[in-house]
A and B are shown apart, each in its own frame.
Chain A
Amino acid sequence: MAFITASWNPLGDAFYRKTDLYEMSWSLRDGLRDSLVAAAPYGGPIALLREPQRRSPSSRPQLEIYSASGGTIASFPWKSGPVVQLGWTVSDELLCIQEDGTVLIYDLFGSFKRHFSMGQEVVQSQVMEAKVFHSPYGTGIAIVTSSSRFTLATNIDDLKLRRLPEVPGLQGKPSCWVVLTQDRQTKVLLSNGPELFILDNTSCTVVCPPGLSPQDGNIVHMSVSFSYKYLALLTDSGHLWTGLSTLQEKLSDVDTKKTMAPKQMLWCRRPKSQQPSVVLMWDRLLLVVGVCNETIQYPIEDPCVLVGEMDGVRIISSSNQELLQEVPLVCQDIFKIASMAPGALLLEAHREYEKSSQKADEYLREIKEQSMLGEAVRQCVEAAGHEYDTNTQKSLMRAASFGKCFLTDFSPDQFVTTCRELRVLNAVRDSSVGLPLTHTQFKQLTLQVLIDRLVYRQFYPLAIEVCRYLKIPDYQGVSRVLKHWASCKVQQKDLTDDAIARAVCMKVGDSPGVSYSDIAAKAYECGRAELAIKLLDFEARSGEQVPLLLKMKRSQLALSKAVESGDTDLVYTVVSYLKNEMNRGDFFMTLRNQPVALSLYRQFCKLQEQETLKDLYNQDDDHQELANYYVTASYREKRLEGRLSLLQSAVDEYNKAKNEFAVKTTEDEMRLLRFQRKLDDEKGAGLLGLSLQVTMETLLSLGLHKQAEQLYKDFRVPDKRYWWLKLKSLAEKEEWDELEKFSKSKKSPIGYLAFVEVCIKCNNKYEAKKYVSKVTPEQKVKAHLAVG
């Protein structure tokens, strides 16, 4: 344990350390020499293209993809054009930028996804250099062509190419350049000899970093920090200038006394860095230059590649991988020799306790006297998070746990969370998984993304373990993993549809939030329609099945599923789809087998397509409805002839439907209409369209008694109703003599009380009295009362 500091090197008032991450499990024949290498941050994958410039078609270069620990993920011969630059997107996709400006995108497993071009003009002028950069907007690409023009794409998923203005006096490529993201703008900083330019959308500006004089020489290398906040410039005289990337402020100016340009130069800092530094790499030397002017030198044996991380620099060689970082403050406090920090004392106390030594008590007492035990526990837990070695983690956590025992009211949250997170981190750091994430990176990346990355790398069991262990709600956790697993499973070409469907169903079961339709859609995308249908059968939500079934042209099945769901809107949707897809005959036949859909479609037609409605009834031999249809239609017809002919059609259909009553009344109606028309023509009576009763009423009020009488007889109007009608009509017109005559024409079918009452209503007591005597004995009282 005492040796922890053995790998520490002081730099200013801080320390730097190198931690072994992996013995690389790859076996590279020629090491990293002559290869294009791209390694993604956050412990991402490594892509390697050997001898990219070799152009002979007989021996194509090999493109290889490895996990961060060197495990082979994919390997295939490169068949496209010469590649200038490789890079990774934020979602672990490989970008291969070719000389002609074409960018090819591959997934982690080397399957080609898509491609795009950096612009037509590039095809002519060729890409000289390219850089892949990350910003809040996603992954971007910047290129410079042999005609010294820069083109930028800030987000390759939403491709908008921007050709930057010309740089005055620039011939060929600049001596060095970087991409900066500032104030939501992406710019290029470049040097041409001693001059420094900022290139943005519209202009090219000469800039002078404060405190860097032209005497310091030409700028040959530059580097911007992970957060785009800091900038380092190296001149050919070996001067290293560091400052803010806004070029507003200088941090330091160090003379490295190296005049040879380094192969790579990167910032090495961490959040709340005490002593940020710049790492320069030559063939045999790694130089860490602190802003405090001090340096650390590490010899190098093999060619290496440096990968910048948010909290350090990873050094990958053909045989192993290390993490170079500033020792976090809390670790310094605890492990620094002779440290008296509470955490250090607690660790010591626990160590003594394990040896059953009473010194444990002394140490504890010392911390408690300063009331620093809580702080001590906190320090140990935090430090454990920063340690890579599991034994160190354990001893720190045990010490923390030991210290906790002497505290009351101490929230265990931090302890518990860190324990869990460390277990997860240790699992994913394992060489077989190869995600060497630090705790700081993990926090930045978030658990969700980590799970996504595990899923993407197809470590399904591990991802599920992680979800279960961290008790992530199924909906965001296990279900999501299973969904991805299933989508991947359906693509397995060596398995039969049945086997896959069974496997998927067994694993996924009823997991909430896993949509079988989504999985089925994936299967269909891969050309496995049969499998898709099998999978859809497991879908509980019938509504979800429909859109895919339609897409797969299983319209009949879609229709029955829609009907099953009870969602009429869905049924309508399928029906209107079918209507466009099928010929009319087939369409009607299909509907016929689905009564629910058929009646909905009828409703639709009633409102939107009257003509189709007729065809539908015709097809079903539904004469009754067809007749009703004609009746409705007749009312829309302005001309009497048209109306009559439609009513005749109705009569025909009612006849076929054996609805005698309807036949009779419809014929009556036609008769009435003709009669009304005739009278309208002769007398201008305005009768057309009135009911029989109202027609008679009108005729009576016009004094056309004979015609009214005729209707009464022709239409066999019941006596009672006719008598009422005539009684009221005569009384209203005060034709009292006529009324009396009428009352005597025969025995009244409505009795004579009605006569009394109607007369009274018309305020004629005198006439009323005439009828009292005729009222039946049982109604006589009422009659007398009415007359008064």
Chain B
Amino acid sequence: MMRLRRSHLICCAASKEKMAAHLSYGRVNLNILREAARKELREFLDKCAGSKAIVWDEYLTGPFGLIAQYSLLKEHEVEKMFTLKNGRLPPADVKNIIFFVRPRLELMDIIADNITSEDRHHSSRDFHILFVPRRSMLCEQRLKEQGVLASFINIDEYILDLIPYDGDLLSMEYESAFRECYLENDQTSLYHTAKGLMTLQALYGTIPQIYGKGECARLVANMMLRMKREFAGSQNQILPVFDTLLLLDRNVDLLTPLATQLTYEGLIDEIYGISNGYVKLPPEKFAQKKQGEGSKDLPTEPKKLQLNSAEELYAEIRDKNFNAVGAALSKKAKIISAAFEERHNAKTVGEIKQFVSQLPHMQAARSSLANHTSIAELIKDITTSEAFFDNLTVEQEFMTGVDTDKVNTYIEDCIAQKDPLIKILRLVCMQSVCNNGLKHKVMDYYKREILQTYGYEHMLTLNNLEKAGLLKPQTGSRNNYPTIRKTLKLWMEDANEQNPNDISYVYSGYSPLSIRLTQILARPGWRSIEEVLKMLPGPHFEERQQLPSGLHKKRQQGENRTTLVFFLGGVTYAEIAALRFLSQVEDSGMEYVIATTKLINGTTWIKSLMDRPESPTQ
């Protein structure tokens, strides 16, 4: 028993190491950021001496998982964890109760309810609040009104703006950012973005050049420049790691997220949804094939897998077009079985020893291969279906500008078949974007069809889509999408899916507009596309931040420059794949690190813009 426990501990330690490993492989060591975040968490936990229970705002558990596993909490005497909900707190024999919450009024009311239902005679527990990512006077005011503010020993904030997601990827996991910015004119997420970028600069040096396109980008840049003035005097003496920051508004490129992603990772996200780095898959394909057990019942729990670059095979295939994944998998299978065959060649003791020492790695590779083969099979079932093909055909027609000004029969049929509403909305919005707005007649027809089929309550959602510019009536001006498409080469007829030579491979022909802008900024520069930039919404700008003398980089011959691309309002996996592709292109001279408010796909994005009035009877 004892031995088992110890080995378990070693396992934990090893997996912890591994967990962080995927963050440090890239050009910029994002582990520094994660470590800073972990340190702060430990410091807070130690502030509350004694045993603790954490009451979680459920939304936060996912993002926190990227920073710290339960083991870290346990090391700091966290014994219980609960989900925040109304009523009395579950019993726990601990000294401290800590609420981990976002600063939201509705959550304050729940906390107040928790505290007032606490048995005062019986308990002598200490209460604490940790606001993530920032304290809020408004919330504290609310707690005060509810008469519970004085019950808290510690009220603190845990500044978690940018969460390291992978070796080249930071996300704020701020789901409602796009909605808040474009529907509600609420710039909270932008403030957090600016703060997060300040933290990043404190750790990785001042970023000397800032480019941006879009209203929100402009606001973030303004806030950053002001915050820099506010910290004047405390000069940052770190050699800058990033050469450039590019801030891009999601509404500069509304088209890309609407299209179905065709990379491996993109498709996993489209079909099963990746949340905080994990995906849940139907279990049937992952049934354990253990000897002796025979055919037991199939597992019913979904299979949960973590997806990041720590897994060698996944790092290799995640960004490939799905059509190239099969070949990659079978190549990998050959390599692995060849490696296992090696054992027959191992003759001497030394050779056998060498072989055995590689076994764990090989076995991990084999199970990883098995997993991804299963996932690829699952996906293939869908991508080879007629429905998928038809849908893709229509998308590509729209993107190439075919018949975007008429009511599309496929969409009509889908509505008649009562296909999922979000699918319809994605297509209609896409048509609208690709036509720079729909004719009144066409738009009203679609809207009526949607309301009659899916219900009048979607009136509000349609209204939101219009406000966000995803759905708009054509105004007098000419349809400028063809010009944009041609100038930026958004459609490449001969996209090579197997051995790509252009970013268009991620959508099998369509090159994401946002990434084209990024690519052109690096070379030859935005001046070459002034005309098109003017057609896209929001201002474009350039700012320089003074570096303290002595911190100017002396670039080695052939050393790449590093750009941080920040997508305000979300980014898709396919766009990330395209940027990674650009980083790898040999003569590009540029490496990209990606940051975003949230990883999105068309479905999650549209969903975040929907409004469903609650009816009292349901």
Q: Quick one: closest A residue to B188, CB to CB? A: A568
- Interface 1/0 per residue, A558-582 and B, CB below 8 Å: 0000000111111011001000000
Please state if A540 and B232 are interface contacts (CB–CB under 8 Å). Answer: yes
Q: Please determine whether B138 and A572 come into contact, CB atoms closer than 8 angstroms.
A: yes
Q: Would you call A662 an interface residue if the criterion is a C-beta within 8 Å of the partner chain's C-beta atoms?
A: yes
Q: Is A636 an interface residue (CB 8 A)?
A: yes
A635 interfacial by beta-carbon distance below 8 Å: yes
Across the interface, name the chain B residue whose C-beta is closest to A717.
B452
Question: Interface size of B by Cβ–Cβ distance < 8 Å?
Answer: 52
A689 partner residues in chain B, CB cutoff 8 A: 615, 617
Whether the pair B232, A692 counts as a contact (CB closer than 8 A) is: no
Which residues of chain B come closer than 8 Å to A513, judged between CB atoms? 233
Q: Tell me how far the C-beta of A79 lies from the nearest C-beta in chain B, rounded to whole angstroms.
A: 42
Q: Are A566 and B233 in contact (CB under 8 A)?
A: no
Please give the distance in Å from B260's CB to the nearest CB on chain A.
24
Please measure, in the bound complex, the distance between the C-alpha atom of A666 and the C-alpha atom of B191, giving whole angstroms: 39
B284 in contact (CB, < 8 A): no
Q: Are B106 and A607 in contact, CB atoms less than 8 angstroms apart? A: yes
Q: How far is the CA of A286 from the CA of B528 in the complex (A)?
A: 95
Please tell me if the beta carbons of B187 and A541 are within 8 angstroms of each other in the complex: no
Least Cβ distance of B157 to chain A in Å?
A: 11
Q: Are A665 and B223 in contact (CB under 8 A)?
A: no
Interface string of A692-724 (1 = CB under 8 A from B): 111000000000000000000001011011001
CB < 8 Å neighbour of B613 from A510, A565, A631, A694: A631
Assess A599 versus B616: contact at CB under 8 Å? Given A511-B233, A693-B418.
no
A566 touches B219 (CB 8 A): yes
Contacting B at CB under 8 A, from A575-610, are 576, 595-596, 599-600, 602-604, 607-608
Q: Taking the complex as formed, is B103 at the interface, i.e. its CB lies under 8 A from any CB of chain A?
A: yes
Within 8 Å by CB of A512, from B190, B232, B415, B614, lies B232
A725 at the interface (CB under 8 A from B): yes
- The segment from B36-44, B76-84, B374-382, B442-450 that touches chain A is B442-450
- Specify the chain B residue showing the minimal Cβ separation from A647: B456
Q: Check A635 against B613 for contact (C-beta < 8 Å).
A: yes
- Minimum distance in angstroms from A632 CB to a CB of chain B: 5
- A721 & B415 in contact (Cβ 8 Å cutoff): yes
Decide: B103 and A718 in contact? CB cutoff 8 A: no
C-beta contact mask, B220-243 vs A, less than 8 Å → 1, else 0?
A: 001100100110111000000000
Measured in the bound complex, the distance between the Cα atoms of B184 and A596 in whole Å is: 10
Evaluate contact between A662 and B459: CB separation under 8 angstroms: yes
Question: Does A718 lie within 8 Å of B614, measured CB to CB?
Answer: no
Task: Name the distance in Å between A786's Cβ and chain B's nearest Cβ.
Answer: 12
Closest to B190 in A: A566
* Distance of A380 Cα from B226 Cα, bound (Å): 54
- Please, how many angstroms separate the alpha-carbon atoms of A632 and B106 in the complex? 20
Q: Is A366 an interface residue (CB 8 A)?
A: no
The smallest beta-carbon distance between B37 and chain A, in angstroms, is 21
Interface string of B135-149 (1 = CB under 8 A from A): 111100100000000
Answer yes or no: B457 CB below 8 A from chain A CBs: yes
Cα–Cα distance between A717 and B413 once the two chains are bound (Å): 14
| CB of B185 closer than 8 Å to a CB of A | yes
Inter-subunit contact A721/B416 (CB<8 Å): yes
Q: A492 contacts the other chain (Cβ, under 8 Å)? A: no
Cβ-neighbour of B233 out of A510, A541, A661 (below 8 A): A510
Evaluate contact between A724 and B416: CB separation under 8 angstroms: yes
Interface residues of A in 414-456 (CB under 8 A from B): none
Cβ distance B216 to chain A, nearest Cβ, rounded Å: 12
A631 x B191 contact (CB < 8 A): no
Complex Cα gap A430–B444 (Å): 90
Shortest C-beta distance, B343 to chain A (Å), equals 50
Residue A691 at the B interface, CB < 8 A?
yes
Whether A568 contacts B186 by the Cβ 8 Å rule is yes
Q: Is the C-beta of B346 less than 8 angstroms from some C-beta in chain A?
A: no
Report chain B residues within 8 Å CB of A690: 455
Decide: B456 and A596 in contact? CB cutoff 8 A. no
Check: B272 CB closer than 8 A to any chain A CB. Answer: no
Question: Which residue in B137, B187, B449, B613 is a CB contact (below 8 Å) of A566?
Answer: B187
Query: Across the interface, do B194 and A691 meet the contact criterion of CB distance under 8 Å?
Result: no
Q: Which residues of B contact A628 (CB under 8 A)?
A: 459-460, 463
Set of chain A residues within 8 Å of B415, measured between Cβ atoms: 721
A348 close to chain B: CB less than 8 A: no
B253 near A: Cβ within 8 Å?
no
Known contacts A573-B141, A665-B459: A721-B453 contact under CB 8 Å? yes
8 Å CB contact of A692 from B185, B230, B453 = B453
**Inside 8 A of B134's CB, which chain A residues have their CB?**
569
Chain B contacts to A: CB under 8 angstroms: 103, 105-106, 134-138, 141, 184-188, 190-191, 194, 219, 222-223, 226, 229-230, 232-234, 412-413, 415-418, 444, 447-449, 451-457, 459-460, 463, 611, 613-617
Apart from the given pairs A512-B233, A636-B616, 4 other A-B contacts in the complex at a CB distance below 8 Å: A570-B137, A603-B184, A631-B459, A631-B460
30 CB-based A-B contacts, threshold 8 Å? A512-B233, A512-B234, A540-B232, A541-B230, A566-B191, A566-B226, A568-B191, A572-B136, A572-B138, A573-B137, A596-B187, A603-B184, A628-B459, A628-B460, A628-B463, A632-B613, A635-B615, A636-B615, A661-B444, A666-B459, A690-B455, A691-B451, A691-B453, A691-B454, A692-B453, A693-B453, A718-B412, A720-B412, A721-B449, A724-B417
